[in-house]
Amino acid sequence: MFELGEQPYSETDAEWDAFVAAHPRGSLLQTTNWARLKSRFGWSSQRVWMRRDGRLVGGAQVLFRSVALGIVKLGYIPHGPLVDWADGEQVDVLFNHIDQAAFGRGAGMVKIEPRIWQSEMPAEAWEELYRRHGCVPSPDTIQPPRTIVIDLRPSEEEILATMKQKTRYNIRLAEKKGVTVREGTAADLVAFNALMMATGRRDGFGIHDPQYYRVAYELFAPNNVALWLAEYEGRPLAGVMVFTSGRSAAYLYGASSDEERQRMPAYAAQWAAMCWAKRRGCWTYDMWGVPDAPEDELEAGFTDRQDGLWPVYRFKRGFGGEVVRTVGAADRVYNKLLHRIYTRQRGG
């Protein structure tokens, strides 16, 4: 038998975060502080859980927000739910509890995006699984489904050896050209935000409000976030903000100046962040998002494509690692009309 419940935030946060950190598919996006971050910027959250013999065995942190011109109340489970997908009873019981939470919030649908790699579960098996548990297919993902994951367990020299030769050269070139890297503090967030704005203008992608990066840093500091700044003659030229949860590190935010790019400061900052994550005991480093295309297509197109995440892939691929993809998303639909409105608004 399962014991079900909804965890009040603050009372059992440490237990939940320990469960997430130890779970084989746990993620930063299921931690308490991630829910706190999103609650400051338009989302609300509710955590549901299940125990067996007093021990947490499954759960989900559900984010809620009005979307599609405010018409649809969306429930969203990023990198979750955390459950034993091979245990059909456990999955059904947890989904029933998620449904109750969604009904209580007036949600017309809940989108799930579990952190299951396609290498673990082929697309056909995933579709059969989610359909069996009452979900419908969804091409719409909120998190980038494809990424590069780097193994941090080898030595630093071994990690360097697996990188592309040009990236390894650029890391060393930055040091030769006088670039220094240091771990920043909250006081350096002003400089980091200036770098983010410069990057957004140059590369044509959206960035968060400056307060978002400050809140993210303050919530996860001091143990689960680091800001690394690459500088030349005291001027910040590039920055990386990396987060940890359990044995995983994630490179969520990075930026660089338009100045002194020939000194390769972004490579130096990224390598410093990887080394920090390794020292923290992380086994993997997630580069967090590349174009959603097969690896042979990525390799054939990265020199020419300049749209979307293609320039990002050109940079990230050089650090080595494995290109992986999640199984994607699926939706639990409670109101078909609202689901159609959401899907149309998202371009589906």
Report helix, strand or coil for 94.
Answer: helix
pLDDT band at 163 (very low <50, low <70, confident <90, very high): very high
Tell whether the torsion through CA atoms of 215, 219, 220 and 225 is positive or negative: positive
Report helix, strand or coil for 101.
Answer: helix
- Tell me what pLDDT residue 323 has: 97
CB-based contacts of 165-171 (< 8 A; 24+ apart in sequence):
166/318, 167/267, 167/318, 167/319, 167/320, 170/264, 170/267, 170/318, 171/264, 171/267, 171/268, 171/271
Question: From start to end of the chain, where are the E strands?
Answer: 3-6, 44-52, 55-67, 72-78, 109-113, 136-138, 146-151, 180-183, 225-232, 235-245, 248-256, 284-286, 322-325, 329-333
SS3 percent helix, strand, coil of the chain, rounded to 5, is 40, 25, 30
Burial of 288 (0-12, 13-18, 19+ CB in 10 A): buried
C-alpha count within 13 angstroms, C-beta hemisphere, residue 161: 5
Residue 5 has pLDDT above 60, yes or no: no
Contact 270, 211 (CB under 8 A): no
Residue 178 has pLDDT above 90, yes or no: yes
Contact 227, 269 (CB under 8 A): no
CA distances to 148, 324, 331 from 120, in Å:
16, 10, 21
User: Cα separation of 348 and 343, whole Å?
Assistant: 5
- Give the chain's domains with CATH numbers: 3-142+327-345 (3.40.630.30), 146-325 (3.40.630.30)
For the chain, give the number of residues: 348
Model's pTM, two decimal places?
0.94
Mean pLDDT calculated for residue range 305-325: 93
Mean pLDDT calculated for residue range 138-162: 97
Residue 10 has pLDDT above 80, yes or no: no
- Tell me what pLDDT residue 1 has: 47
Give residue-wise pLDDT tens across range 30-68.
999 999 999 999 999 999 999 988 899 999 999 999 999
CA distances to 10, 76, 343 from 6, in Å:
12, 16, 29
Give residue-wise pLDDT tens across range 188-205.
999 999 999 999 888 877
